[in-house]
Structure 1
Amino acid sequence: MATNSLAAGYVLVEGYPSVEDYRNLREQSGLSPRNEEQATKSIAGSWYGVYIAEETAPTKAVAMGRVIGDGGWYFIIADMATLPAHQRKGLGDVVLKKLLAEIERRAAEGQAYVTLGADPPGRKLYMKNGFQDTMPDTMGMERHVQGQGQDQ
């Protein structure tokens, strides 16, 4: 799966944005805010990630996405976010295609299961890239717990 060409003036970087950029991207793009510890552990616990920056500031992320996974067959696309000033330029599509290409390249031989939570603004992007609603066969569920921030 090839990635789309990137809009002029942008660079795609393999890896993760800084904790500060991660937090800013989540908040500014409408995702729920996360504290510094959550952001740090999220990045450290990722399987793969990419971000997009402007060529003039190649370490300042304006879009991002990451994969959480076991490397075998189960993968979750997470933290797909683009700053509002950089939306509608195809950056999310480039990020998603790069994440999917890496899963395809590195996952164990056989069929892999790739899932994500699709908020209304992202559904068109995800459907365009082969994702489909799983209802009524399966239903996504969630539960929130309050972390205490105490490593063992």
Structure 2
Amino acid sequence: MEDIIIVDNKLQPEDFIRLRLEAGFMETPMEQAEKALSNGLFTASAMCGDKIVGMGRLIGDGSMYWYIQDVAVMPAYQGRGIGKAIVTRLISYAEANSLPGSKASIGLSPPRGKNPFMKKWDLQSTPTIQAEPE
């Protein structure tokens, strides 16, 4: 099996569009993809060699509200724990970047048919996270 690594903030608009299409999401125009990525807070991408095979993004205010969006893994790479690794990285980033001692919420709107995958993290009800005090 090929090695997969998770990298931060490497997602490019072309990969964003390609992965969304391969995962069955609606088509996204280039200009919209560029703006969405530039306005987001953080991305986690799964790399196999030099190819991005999975992605996820965090959007929100970067303090109280974090939202996981666009978690997608190429069909040929699904079932290997890549989506779980991406979501875990996104949650870790939100926890590490919330204000110390504060409470924050992480939410998501899973795509149709993906509720069982997302329920593993119990994020469908926008849980509160507690940032560690400094």
1:52 maps to what in 2? 46
Which whole-Å CA distance do the structure 1 matches of 2:63 and 2:10 have between them? 21
How do 1:108-127 and structure 2 match up within 5 A? 108-109=99-100, 110-127=102-119
Assess if the C-alpha contact under 8 Å between 2:46 and 2:52 holds in 1: yes
Higher strand share: 2
Deviation at 1:121, TM superposition (A): 3.3
User: Normalising by the residue count of structure 1, what TM-score does the alignment of the two structures yield?
Assistant: 0.76
In structure 2, which of residues 70, 83, 88 is the aligned counterpart of residue 79 of structure 1?
Answer: 70
* Gap runs ≥5 in structure 2: 127-134
Letter in 1 for 2:22: Q
Asked if 1:14 corresponds to 2:22, the answer is no
Moved over 6 A (4+): none
**Amino acid across the alignment from 1:24:** R
1:33 and 2:24 matched:
no
The residue type equivalent to 2:8 in the other structure is E
CA distance in 2, matches of 1:102, 1:63: 17
TM-score by length of 2: 0.85
Q: Partner residue of 2:79?
A: 88
Task: Give the corresponding residue for 2:96.
Answer: 105
Alpha-carbon shift at residue 16 of structure 1 (Å): 3.4
How far apart are the structure 2 equivalents of 1:82 and 1:115? 19
User: What's the C-alpha RMSD, in Å, of the aligned pairs?
Assistant: 1.7
